[in-house]
Amino acid sequence: MVAYSWGLSNLGKGDEVLVSLMEHHSNIVPWEITAKIKGFTIKYANVHPDGTLDYDDFESKISKKTKIACLSHVSNVTGVINDVKRIGKVAHDNGALMLVDGAQSMPHMKVNVQDLDMDFLAFSGHKMLAPTGIGVFYGKKEVLEKMPPFMGGGEMIKEVSVSQGQCSVSWNELPWKFEAGTPNIGGAIGLGAAVKYLEALGMDNVLSHEKELTKYASERMKECSKVTVYGPSDLSKKLGIIPFGVKGLSSHDVALFFDNYGVMMRSGYHCAQPLHEIFKLESSARASFYIYNTQQEVDRFLEVLKEFEQL
């Protein structure tokens, strides 16, 4: 939405977009596509070998040429929490906008768009107990009002008139201007139910539960000599995600092994190939915890993990 609706109208040759190397592909590929159309430059901010953001490098690359800074609030590979408020201030001081990928933060912690001063925030529903195919796009009203619609169709127009072969079109008010066609009604209802459920639980409780499981699992994983955990060792700076590798095995072999024991996990690049290049990895396995997980399930995960010690 931002890359096409805002980017195609506001970016051109001489302009720069700043993105970190820990981003999910969804915060890289749209900019690469639109850059080829409009001719603007994309700069990439570095990430430290432990998966944490190089703030000095990110901030040094923000200049008056920078029109928008793009950063994930939480890495979907390592669970690292980024100080988006700090980056946003530097961006705003240079006249740039701030786009935050909240797909991994919104389901797990309190997020206040006004306190963090985000210009744009995007997140998906299926990460937070909602159906697939539904998500949320937030933008500051004054910015959204200046943006043209991304897609055309029903609902997003106020009036269409044809006179003497000439067509006149006016856009609907926010948010309908960006809601072309029949909406995903079922998905929206499901997302609303998920939000109410999480609010009833309390996001502080959600975060606390995740951190307890992550700390417990991280400490116990140290008992496995063939296992290497990637990302920062300081658990206070991350959420409930543990990327790891098993000596001599690909991440897909690891995931398949766990699957045979009824334990589900993710394997591969996790749609974040540049970050894996920094880690010098072909891929990684990823254990992740949420509100529905228990310590007993973590014990089962660790029990299966120790099976690799016998191979």
Catalytically active residues are 271
What is the C-alpha separation between 288 and 240, in angstroms, rounded?
6
DSSP code for 53: B
DSSP code for 74: B
Peptide bond preceding 274 in cis form (omega within 30 of 0): no
Give me 87's structure tokens. Answer: 């980056």
Instruction: Please report which residue ranges of the chain form alpha helices under DSSP H.
Output: 8-10, 29-38, 55-60, 84-93, 113-116, 141-144, 185-201, 203-221, 251-259, 273-278, 295-305
What is the C-alpha separation between 50 and 232, in angstroms, rounded?
5
What is the C-alpha separation between 88 and 97, in angstroms, rounded?
8
What is the C-alpha separation between 105 and 113, in angstroms, rounded?
12
What is the C-alpha separation between 225 and 74, in angstroms, rounded?
28
276: enclosing H helix or E strand: helix 273-278
Question: Which residues lie across from 238 on neighbouring strands?
Answer: 80
